[in-house]
Copies of this chain bind each other. A is one copy, B any other.
Amino acid sequence: MKFTLAEIARHLKGKIIGNPNLSILGVSEIQNSHPNTITFFSNPIYKKYLSTTKATAIIVSNENLLDGKNGIVVSNPQLAMGETLKLFYPEKRKPHSGVHSTAILSDDVKIGKKITIEPRVIINEGSFIGDGSKIGSNSVVGENVVIGENCKIFPNVSIYDDSVIGNDVVIHSGTIIGCDGFGYVKYENVHKKIPQKGNVIIGDCVEIGSNCTIDRATIGSTVIGEMTKVDNLVHIAHNVKIGKGCILTAGFGIAGSTEVGDYCTFGGQVGVGPHLTIGNNTMVAAKSGVTKSLKGGKIYAGYPAREIEEHNKRLALINQISTLRKKVDQIIKKD
């Protein structure tokens, strides 16, 4: 692929600074850049690389940042970078290839048009795969599963019975959807299993990373709202409801029956307790532990999680102890 700076600028609806005829052969990171590529500047911690980058052009939000270099000015350089990547690496849209001869589909499985069922996929009784969806090699789809349109299920995914997956959903390798909730009741020193008879419902445009585990509900449904994005190694327990447009970062875990609102963001390795309610637009810093319901619209941190200002204040208080001790010792001495 090869584009001129002008062609890229037109694609991004950005303003060209410098030579519009520059030839760009690829894309590179600003901190690890190569000649004949275009890069972008967005995260201020990489500011020092603006002057040293080997890239031929830089996508920026403000002309002054270029300081005489060639570039393109746009309102959102990160978004523009995504668009530039799509230009240089157009999605390899392989033609749908139908059902591979080694796939095993139960007789009553219904499949839509233009689908791809890769080698060794297994799809059990009563399941349905919508138009344009692709199921990756060695994935196993249980009974009575519904997978919507234009989904992309990567290899080695396991989907248990009764799961309902919307349209345009992406699920990466090793993820397990609909496994049993961790529900036991102790009786005479034995943990008796509570049957897990609900299911999992995943909304449209959800993306789920690798090696996640999403438990089915005991009764009813575990729900992940539309447009929510889930990183790797995330655990979602039975009967949890996640709203729409949330971000669940790697290592996040949430316990049973908690309900999370819309547009919430949870940092890496955060844990959330059971039976809580988390309001819309909640942000929780990495590694925090949420033990109480949160109203939402705020940033929380720590364990137990508090509003971040309060959390930071508590951390700062510890710094005051040695000063306090010195003062007290001086008072005692003076007496």
**Partner-B contacts on A (CB < 8 A):** 27-29, 31-32, 43, 45-46, 76, 78-79, 81-82, 85-86, 88-89, 91, 102, 104, 118-120, 122, 136-138, 140, 154-156, 158, 160, 172-176, 179-180, 182-185, 187, 189-195, 197, 207, 209-213, 215, 218-220, 227, 229, 231-233, 235, 237, 239, 245, 247, 249-251, 253, 255, 257, 263, 268-269, 271, 273, 275, 286-287, 289, 303, 314, 317-318, 320-322, 324-325, 327-328, 331-332, 334-335
- Known: A104-B120, A176-B211, A251-B271; 10 extra A-B contacts, CB below 8 A, are A28-B220, A31-B257, A140-B155, A211-B211, A232-B235, A273-B286, A314-B318, A318-B321, A328-B328, A331-B332
The CA of A46 and the CA of B218, in the complex, are separated in Å by 16
Residue in B closest to A46 when the chains form the complex, CB atoms? B275
Listed from nearest, the 9 A-B pairs whose CB atoms lie closest are A158-B173, A213-B232, A176-B210, A140-B155, A82-B194, A85-B195, A317-B321, A210-B213, A182-B231
A29, A43, A184, A191 pick with most chain B CB within 10 angstroms: A191
The count of identical subunits is 3
Q: Which residues of chain B have C-beta atoms less than 8 A from A210's C-beta?
A: 158, 176, 179, 213
Q: Which residues of chain B have C-beta atoms less than 8 A from A187's C-beta?
A: 76, 79
The CA of A154 and the CA of B213, in the complex, are separated in Å by 14
With A158-B155, A250-B253, A331-B335: A189-B263 Cβ-Cβ less than 8 Å? yes
Q: Which residues of chain B have C-beta atoms less than 8 A from A138's C-beta?
A: 120, 122, 138, 140, 156
Q: Which residues of chain B have C-beta atoms less than 8 A from A91's C-beta?
A: 195
With A213-B210, A253-B269, A324-B324: A28-B219 Cβ-Cβ less than 8 Å? yes
Q: Which residues of chain B have C-beta atoms less than 8 A from A85's C-beta?
A: 194-195, 197, 218-219
Q: List 16 A-B contacts (CB under 8 A).
A: A28-B220, A104-B119, A138-B156, A140-B155, A156-B158, A158-B173, A174-B176, A179-B232, A190-B227, A211-B213, A250-B255, A253-B268, A268-B271, A317-B322, A321-B321, A327-B332
- A241 to B: closest C-beta gap in Å: 9
Query: Which among B174, B195, B197, B247 is the interface contact of A191 at CB below 8 angstroms?
Result: B247
Q: When the two chains form their complex, are residues B190 and A179 in contact, meaning their CB atoms are under 8 A apart?
A: no
Residue in B closest to A31 when the chains form the complex, CB atoms? B257
Q: Which residues of chain B have C-beta atoms less than 8 A from A271's C-beta?
A: 251, 268-269, 286-287
Q: When the two chains form their complex, are residues A182 and B235 in contact, meaning their CB atoms are under 8 A apart?
A: no
Q: Which residues of chain B have C-beta atoms less than 8 A from A179's C-beta?
A: 154, 172-173, 209-210, 232
The CA of A228 and the CA of B146, in the complex, are separated in Å by 33
Q: Which residues of chain B have C-beta atoms less than 8 A from A184's C-beta?
A: 229, 247
Q: Which residues of chain B have C-beta atoms less than 8 A from A140's C-beta?
A: 136-138, 155-156, 173
Q: Which residues of chain B have C-beta atoms less than 8 A from A268's C-beta?
A: 235, 253, 255, 271
Query: Which among B45, B213, B251, B334 is the interface contact of A209 at CB below 8 angstroms?
Result: B213
